[in-house]
Amino acid sequence: MSESAREQFLAGKRFLREDNIDKALRAFEKAYKEDKENAEYMSYFGMCKAVRGGEIGLGLELCTRAIKKEFFKAEFYRNLGKVYLAAGNKKGAIKVFLKGLKYDPQHEEMNRLLIELGFRNKPVIQGLDRSNPVNKFLGILFRRTLPKIFKKGK
């Protein structure tokens, strides 16, 4: 792995955090061109190419290849989900984010994106409407209270 490619990649991540996607895209492209087999470079370059460059097909291809190489990295699913969002495929993005959360349930950005996309779990009692007070109460109980109880026991 080339040292300058790694430096470019780290610079790209810093630019992303600063919301400077143009500079991030250039840095990730340089890293990717130096090491086309690195899954991280592939995923981030693909995501930026789709989100900023509008090249959805290339983004899908690179992000999917990165996941095939290292399926256990939640950030790769986040990147692929962002490509789906750039393509206007909300359903696909939700599916990918949920898959990524299996590898990192606490991934803040994917959880935030799911909430922004309006993803909600099914009602506890599916025969009743979501707004039914019994469903509301059970939903709060199961999804907020019970996990906290089980975490205290660890």
Please say if the pLDDT value at position 1 is more than 60.
no
- Interval 85-144: pLDDT, tens: 999 999 999 999 999 999 998 899 998 999 888 877 677 788 888 788 887 788 777 766
Q: What three-state secondary structure class fits 122? A: coil
pLDDT of 154: 40
Predicted confidence (pLDDT) at residue 2 exceeds the cutoff of 70? no
Q: What is the pLDDT of residue 151?
A: 52
pTM: 0.78
Query: Residue 33: its pLDDT value, please?
Result: 96
CATH number of 3-119: 1.25.40.10
Q: Which residues of 38-76 are buried (b: 16+ CB within 10 A; e: fewer)?
A: bbbbbbbbbbbbbbebebbeebbbbbbbbbeeeeebbbb
- Concatenating the DSSP letter of every residue in 21-81 gives HHHHHHHHHHHHHH-TT-HHHHHHHHHHHHHTT--HHHHHHHHHHHHHH-TT-HHHHHHHH
pLDDT tens track for 27-59: 999 999 999 999 999 999 999 999 998 999 999
In this predicted model, what pLDDT tens digit does every residue of 6-17 receive, in sequence order?
A: 999 999 999 999
Domain residue extents for the chain: 3-119, 124-154
Q: Which residues contact 154 (CB under 8 A, 6 or more apart)?
A: none
